[in-house]
Chains A and B, each alone.
Chain A
Amino acid sequence: MNTPLSKDDTRRQVLRILGEIAPEADTTSLRPDVSFRDQLDLDSMDFLNFVVALHKEFHIEIPEADYPKYMTLNGCLTQLSAARS
C-alpha cells in the first residue's frame, strides 16, 4: 500500500468518479451532505457504477447494506478514511 491519501486527494478522486458517471453535472457546487441521487439525478444503475468505481479505485469492499453510507460526499469521505486508517 502506498502512502495514505490526504482527505483532499480522496475528495478529488471521488468527484472525478462522479464526473465520469454524470458528465454533465457540475460537481464543484455539490453540497456535501445532500445525497448524490437528489443532486445529480443518479439512478440505481449509476449508483451501482459509482460504488463499483469506488471499490476499484480505493480497493475497499462495500457490502450492499452499506450503500446508504455512500450516498453523500461527506458520507463517502468518512467511510473511505475509516476503511484506510
Chain B
Amino acid sequence: MAEFLMPTLGADMTDGTLVQWKKKEGDRIAKGETIAEVDTEKAAIDVESHTTGIIERLITRPGDKVPVGTVMAIIREEGGPTTSVASPRAVATPPSPPPPSPRTERAAVAPSQVGRLRISPAAKKLAAERGIEASTLQGTGPEGAITLDDIDRATTATTDIAKPVGTADRQARMRQTIAAAMARSKREIPHYYLSTTIDMGRAITWLKDSNEQRPVTERLLYGVLLIKAVALALRRVPELNALWKDGEAHRSERIHIGTAISLRQGGLVAPALHDADRLSLSELMQNFQDLVKRARAGSLRSSELSDPTITVTSLGEQGVETVFGVIYPPQVALVGFGKVVERPWVADGLVVPRPVLMASLSADHRVTDGHRGGLFLAEIDRLLQEPQSL
C-alpha cells in the first residue's frame, strides 16, 4: 500500500487545497499520471502520482485544505499483495464513502513530545514576535526541536483561511509566500555574489543564422542558449547543482533548471525545465514555450515546482543590465542574466562595439567558495563563445 501525500511544491508551501481528484476509487493510476489538482498560493497544480497501482481510497475531499505531508489517498501498488496483510484498515474499510471529517492541521502531525520544550533561541524569539504559542507546535528539527521553519509554517497556517482562492487573494497570498521563502533565504543562506560580462557577439550571430533557416514555429530565443549554457556548465561545477537538506548539501545527479517566469497578474513562479543539459536547443525551446504558457495559464505539474536544482532569472526584458538574485531554498545557487547591450569592447587591441551581457551568480557560501563560482561563470562564458556546440 502506498500513501499519496500532499506534496511540497516549493520551499514556501505549507498546505494546499484539493480542487478535484482526477481519478476515482478503483481506477488504475500510472506513475507520473495526474492524480489530483491542487490549489496552492501560486497556482492550481496537476499533481502526479509517484506510484503505479489501483486507487484504494480517496481520503481528502475536494475543497479541503490540508498541510503538506497529509495522507490524501491510498494506492494499492501494482505487484503488491491484492489481499493486503500489511494494511488491515484497507481490508476492513469499504471503498466508499470517504470519511466525512476533513483532516485538520493537527491530524497530520505526530503526537507532541512529553517533557521539556525543545526550541532554538532564534525560533523562540520569532514565535514571541509573531504571537505563536510554541508549545502547540510539532518540531521538525533534531529530536523534535522546533525550528525557525516550524514557526514560519505556523505563521502561514494561522494567517491562511481555507477557502477557494480568487485572483486578488491569490496575488496577496503569492506575495506572502514569496516573502516567506525570500526571508528564509536571506536569514539562513550566506550568499556570495559574482558577476562577469560576456561577449554575446558569436551567440547572437549564430542564433540569427540559425533562425533564418528555421520556420517561424521552430525559432529559438537567446534565453534558451543561456539556459543550456548554465546546464552544461553545471556538469563542470556540479556542487552548485544541489539542495541543502539536514545541514548539508546533497548534489543532484540530474540538472533541472528552474526558470523564473513572471506572471501577468503579478508575482512569479520558477518551474523546472527537466534534464536541461540533455535536451537539444530545439527541445529546450519547445519545453520552455510550453512551460511559460502553462505557468501563465496556471496549469503546472507538481514535479515542475518541486524539482528545480538551481534557478535562472533573466531580467533583460525589463531593460535591466544586472541582476543579483536571492537563492530559492533549498537550492544553493541562482544565476542571473541582464539585458544584452551594445558596449565598447576591446578585441585584438581594437575597441569595437559588441553586444554584451552581464551574468551573475548568487551562491550559498556554506556549499561553495568564490573560486568554484568563478569557474562556473567562466564556463558559461566559454560555452557561449561556441554556440554551435550548445
> CB within 8 Å of B: which residues of A?
22-24, 41, 43-45, 48-49, 51-52, 55, 61-65
Contact of B104 with A by CB under 8 A: no
Which B residues lie within 8 Å of A62 (CB)?
A: 216
The contact of A64 among B217, B219, B292, B317, by CB within 8 Å, is B219
Select one of A24, A44, A55, A65 contacting B217, CB under 8 A: A55
Instruction: Choose among B208, B219, B265, B317 the residue that contacts A48 (Cβ–Cβ < 8 A).
Output: B219
Which residue from A44, A48, A52, A63 sits with its C-beta under 8 Å from B212?
A63
Q: Which of B179-219 contact A (CB under 8 A)?
A: 208, 211-212, 216-217, 219
Contact indicator B221/A48 (Cβ below 8 Å) = yes
Q: Is the CB of A44 within 8 A of B223?
A: yes
Decide if B289 touches A22 in the complex (CB within 8 Å). no
Using A43-B317, A48-B221, A64-B212 as known contacts, say yes or no to A24 and B265 having CB atoms under 8 A apart.
Answer: yes
Q: Which residues of B contact A43 (CB under 8 A)?
A: 317
Chain B nearest Cβ from A64, distance in angstroms: 5
State whether B216 touches A45 (Cβ < 8 A). no
Q: How far apart are the CA atoms of A65 and B212 in the complex, in Å?
A: 8
Chain B residues packing against A (C-beta within 8 Å): 208, 211-212, 216-217, 219, 221, 223, 264-265, 288-289, 292-293, 317
Assess A24 versus B289: contact at CB under 8 Å? Given A43-B317, A48-B221: no
- Taking a contact as CB atoms under 8 Å apart, the answer to whether A24 and B216 are in contact is no
Tell me if A64 and B221 are in contact (CB < 8 A).
Answer: no
Q: Is the CB of B217 within 8 A of A45?
A: no
Q: Chain A: which residue is nearest B218 at the CB level?
A: A52
Of the residues B208, B216, B264, B265, contact of A51 by C-beta under 8 Å = B216
Pick the residue among B212, B265, B289, B317 that contacts A49 (CB under 8 A).
Answer: B289
Q: A22-B264, A24-B264, A24-B265 are in contact. Are A45 and B211 (CB under 8 A)?
A: no
B317 proximity list for chain A (CB < 8 A): 43-44
A65 to B209, CA, bound (A): 11
* B264 and A45 within 8 A (CB): no
Jot down 21 A-B pairs with beta carbons below 8 A, ordered by A: A22-B264, A23-B264, A24-B264, A24-B265, A43-B317, A44-B317, A45-B221, A45-B223, A45-B289, A45-B292, A48-B221, A48-B289, A49-B293, A51-B216, A52-B216, A55-B216, A55-B217, A62-B216, A64-B212, A64-B219, A65-B212
A44 neighbours in B (Cβ, 8 Å): 221, 223, 317
Expressed in whole angstroms, the minimum distance between the Cβ of B44 and any Cβ of chain A is 16
- CB-nearest residue of chain B to A55: B216
Chain A residues in 8 Å Cβ range of B265 = 24
- Residues on A with C-beta less than 8 A from B208 are 64
Complex Cα–Cα for A49 and B221 (A): 11
Contact check, B212 vs A41: say whether CB atoms are below 8 A apart.
no
Least CB distance, B287 to chain A, in whole angstroms: 12
CB distance from A34 to the nearest CB of B (A): 17
B-chain residues with CB within 8 Å of residue A24 when the two chains form the complex: 264-265
Q: Given contacts A44-B221, A44-B223, A49-B289, are A61 and B264 in contact (CB under 8 A)? A: no
Nearest Cβ in chain B — how far from A35, in angstroms?
Answer: 13
